[in-house]
Copies of this chain bind each other. A is one copy, B any other.
Amino acid sequence: MQMLSLDLGERSYPIFFGAELLKDKSILAPYLGNEGVLIVTNETVAPLYLQDVRDLLDGHQVDELILPDGERYKTLDTLNLIFNTLLEKGRTRGCMLIALGGGVIGDMTGFAAACYQRGVDFIQIPTTLLAQVDSSVGGKTAVNHRLGKNMIGAFHQPKAVIIDVDTLKTLPDREFRSGLAEVIKYGLIVDKNFFSWLEENIDALLARQNDSLLYAIECSCRLKAQIVSVDEKEGGVRAILNFGHTFGHAIETHQKYGEWLHGEAIAVGMLMAAKMSAKMNWLPAEDVERISRLLKIVGLPVDPPPDLSPQQFLNHMVVDKKARLGIIRLVLLKAIGQAVISADYEPDLLRAIVTPG
């Protein structure tokens, strides 16, 4: 087992990586009080790992809540199901929530923990690649609103993140590939060597070899932890983690979070941001080609959905949290491994990027 620390003063916490972690009681034990634990998971993950996690909690008061699976359930209404369970069980401020599942479960459980009695502890046990390399680390929690993704939420750090790479063995192929989009993102925004490593090791990753997976996950979490530790609440540099997301969220909003997976939407978004960076003469055309090639090898889409008009695209982007005063701040690339945040571009350039052709 390896351990990485996310350094945030009194809100610091460890991220544990390894295989067979869901069989190791010693990891979770230090975090458990004696005022009850609620495991929040979904109907897909529950049959696979809920019993393992229950076994880790032997001797504690444990409740479980199994939610329907899917981004479309990431709403205030579903959040209320968590509150209902906690209140029906009479859980107090000393209780602990455990998020067992992907990003949707992690975001909702974290937000419920942020709000329940104005804040209780929670632990992330992410079971998808996307959640392991992105959403479980950094304390962003949220639910969606019909007018925008992640519009209602909180910064609330977990007490620990437990990443058991074995859980990826049961992940459907499309979700696994979608998660790789976020892994690729870290190379693109801050680490060109990691990007090169991904190009060279993509076959081993796609074959889900444990060593490659652990290296990719640890690199991703380390890079994210470094960024979050200097800008916990996204006052500045943390926004580069949104590379590809302003475009990607527009796609997801358009589809009401139904059709494409998050990683698929941001794969397209990253390529659009890269193309825009190239049009601004920042990124060489051959680097756009490298990015496009890697995304295609992974099996991710590279073009936006055809039914999303340029004007709709722009409208959805304006609602994104990165927008201010109607000006859309974009995360762009000066080079592979070097992201910048910029609102200093010609509006026509952005319009051209979101126009199919």
Which residues of A line the B interface, CB within 8 A? 34-35, 76, 79-80, 83-84, 87-88, 90, 92-94, 114-119, 140, 142, 145, 147-148, 151-155, 233-234, 318-319, 321, 323-326
Contact = CB atoms under 8 A, between A and B. Distances in A.
A88 B315 CA distance: 12
Contacts of A93: 321, 324
A142 B117 CA distance: 9
B151 A325 contact: no
Contacts of A90: 318-319, 323, 326
A87 B323 contact: no
Nearest to A139: B118
B321 A117 contact: yes
Given A115-B152, A152-B115, A153-B115, A83 B325 contact: no
Given A76-B80, A83-B145, A87-B147, A92 B152 contact: no
A145 B87 contact: yes
A79 B83 CA distance: 15
Contact of A87 (B234, B319, B325): B319
Given A76-B79, A84-B145, A90-B319, 13 more contacts: A34-B325, A83-B145, A83-B152, A87-B147, A88-B147, A90-B323, A115-B115, A115-B152, A117-B153, A118-B140, A118-B155, A118-B321, A154-B154
Given A145-B83, A147-B84, A324 B92 contact: yes
A118 B94 contact: no
B35 A154 contact: no
B92 A323 contact: yes
Contact of A118 (B34, B92, B117, B142): B142
Contact of A154 (B80, B94, B119, B148): B119
Copy count, this protein chain: 2
A11 to B, nearest CB: 12
A83 B318 contact: no
Contacts of A117: 151, 153, 321
B145 A92 contact: no
Contacts of A140: 118
Contacts of A148: 87
B92 A321 contact: yes
A167 B210 CA distance: 66
Nearest to A93: B321
A326 B61 CA distance: 13
A36 B323 CA distance: 13
Nearest to A112: B152
A101 to B, nearest CB: 21
A90 B142 CA distance: 18
Contacts of A79: 76
Nearest to A326: B90
Contact of A153 (B34, B88, B118, B319): B118
A114 B154 contact: yes
Contacts of A234: 118
Contacts of A80: 76, 145
Contacts of A323: 90, 92
